[in-house]
Amino acid sequence: MSNLKRPAEEAFDAVEGLSPSSKKSRIDDYDKSLTPASAIANGAETREGSNEEKAEQTNGENNSNEVKDEEDDDLEAGEEVEVKAPIRQAAPTEGYDDLYLDTIDRNVLDFDFEKLCSISLSNINVYACLVCGKYFQGRGPKSHAYFHALDEGHHVYINMSTQKVYVLPEGYEVKSKSLDDIKYVSDPRYTRQEVLDLDRKPHVSRTLLGKEYVPGFVGMNNIKDNDYLNVIVQALSHVSPLRNFFLLEDFSNAPELVKRTSILFRKIWNPRAFKSHVSPHELLQEISLRSNKKFTLTQQSDPVEFLSWFLNHLHLGLGGSKTKPHSSVIQHIFQGKLKVESQAITARADQVHDRLRFEEAADVQSSVSRFLLLTLDLPPAPLFQDEQERNIIPQVPLTTILAKYNGVTAQELNAQRKRYRLQHPLPPFLVFHIKRFSKNKFVSERNPTIVTFDARNLDVSPYVEPDPNSHQHGEPIWYDLVANVVHEAVRNKEDVADSVGEERKTWKVQLRDKATDEWVVAQDLFVDKVRSELLYLSESYLQIWERRREPPPGKGKGKA
């Protein structure tokens, strides 16, 4: 060790301006990690004044702090380390209220899909990024939205439940009026006067790209095979009392099916939409869950079966009862009473003519049942053309198949002969199901018969049992068509002469615009006008008729 020592160039006492206190300070502050030899060597270097010594002391302190930080990083995983909380702001910095708002891209915003975090798939406390449109959970320092803001530089987020907008990672709320259009598209709200004007005043709106559309008559996305649901939702959204109920009431505490139905209805009638179509994805997911995947977006289903399921579950979701009549808005609008007379049929042998003879029992059993829709039976389609090669596509008037409910025409079923007749009071809306499809053990058949009708002035008084207390006998009861769901058969492959292609069902709906008294046909994303005289040319499958309000006394009766 003695060989490593070398004498200093000059003695410490000989250095001018160096006091004993400064020597002590320098000795106490030297880096203890150095070896004795290196310490002596460093101490023997030329010194150029106290200012440089102070700078060296400062650097030494910084170095020691860095060493401590490295030592803290090497702590065992089990030890808790105090982490400094990130800087959060309760409000934006003064003068920077609109910071990051210019990064919002309204063209990518689509609030129709189910509110699930794109990473955790959770539906709790979901935020939408207003820059890329993705959903993320939470906005705290450890949330997915927070990390997305740091990784991608997307800073503006909206809470899908409260419609409040926040800037991340700072965490403060933005209260700019320029974001009101986004909040309205996410959750449209209407005043009572706005709802009353929907059927009175024609209104044309424009999308972000300048495309014109009419609120209430917008396309609906067919994700795969959910057009059966699209036509039912479109039709129900034009039943005025039901639409007004879902547009005005608060369903924040209602079941999820009712809540999502209300949101979709409000988006269909949105006058300030960014796009001219909506997607039923959010409602479809809830329906698939509640129906045990009976109705899904990947498999075609029957619109009438879905309508029956949908109305009954909405009725229960709105607090309706299974036994008490008119306990929800669904029953108030669609439910009616039907008188059913049944007679048993017995077969007896006719020995004279050597054949069986069917006789009706003398006793007639009468009962009253309630209905939400009425089924109309089509006559069998002819197997062959007539001599003049007509009746290729048979036709039948709507009043002819309505005769099933005149109380005279009998229907035979399960050894019983039944007669039906409507009873007062009639519901505000009548739903007709024109039965086109029949199944047996071998094949499913479609009846292509065309049902002819006039879109206005359907008189149902011949099919209603007279009741002087409810309606004057002999006076007509007028109903007008609101929506007409039609079926269209499409072949999956080319129809070659030698082979018949398999048919695929597609659905579209014809809707009446009460503000302009014009008709619109909607099929998935396509919306176009159609003349009322041509409505019956399609294969009608489901119709919704609205009872015309009777004029006040003294202002005329009959057709209004």
Q: If you average pLDDT over residues 290-315, what whole number do you get? A: 94
- Whether 86 and 169 have beta carbons less than 8 Å apart is answered as yes
Residue 389 pLDDT class (50, 70, 90 cuts): low
Point out which residues pair with 432 in neighbouring strands: 374, 543
Residue 361 pLDDT class (50, 70, 90 cuts): low
What pTM value is reported for the model? 0.78
Task: Name, of 85-94, 156-165, 547-556, the range with top average pLDDT.
Answer: 156-165
Look at 355 and 531; give whichever has higher pLDDT: 531
H or E stretch at 221: none
Alpha-carbon distance of 502 to 446, in angstroms, equals 13
Alpha-carbon distance of 247 to 273, in angstroms, equals 16
Q: If you average pLDDT over residues 383-407, what whole number do you get? A: 79
Tokens of 329: 């808005």
Q: Round the average pLDDT of the chain to a whole number and report it.
A: 81
* pLDDT, position 318: 93
How is residue 438 annotated by DSSP?
A: E
Alpha-carbon distances of 19 from 27, 49, 54, 347, rounded to whole Å: 13, 12, 14, 135
* pLDDT, position 471: 82
What are 242-254's pLDDT values in tens digits?
A: 999 999 999 989 9
Alpha-carbon distances of 61 from 34, 57, 69, 212, 295, rounded to whole Å: 15, 6, 13, 70, 71
Tokens of 177: 């009026």
Candidate from 3-12, 131-140, 318-327 with smallest mean pLDDT: 3-12
H or E stretch at 399: helix 398-402
What are 42-100's pLDDT values in tens digits?
A: 444 434 444 444 444 444 444 444 434 444 444 344 444 454 556 677 777 765 667 88
H or E stretch at 344: strand 336-350
Q: Could you tell me the domains of the chain?
A: 84-186 (3.30.40.10), 187-321 (3.90.70.10), 331-379+393-491+501-545 (3.90.70.10)
Candidate from 42-56, 145-159, 376-390 with smallest mean pLDDT: 42-56
* pLDDT, position 99: 81
Q: If you average pLDDT over residues 199-225, what whole number do you get? A: 92
Point out which residues pair with 543 in neighbouring strands: 432, 484
Query: Of 109, 170, 184, which is closest to residue 141 (Cα–Cα)?
Result: 170
What are 415-429's pLDDT values in tens digits?
A: 788 899 999 999 999
The three-class DSSP label of residue 504 is strand
Reply yes or no on whether the pLDDT at 551 is more than 90: no
Q: Are strands 416-423 and 277-278 parallel, antiparallel or unpaired?
A: unpaired
* pLDDT, position 119: 94
H or E stretch at 317: helix 303-317
* pLDDT, position 96: 61
Alpha-carbon distance of 27 to 42, in angstroms, equals 11
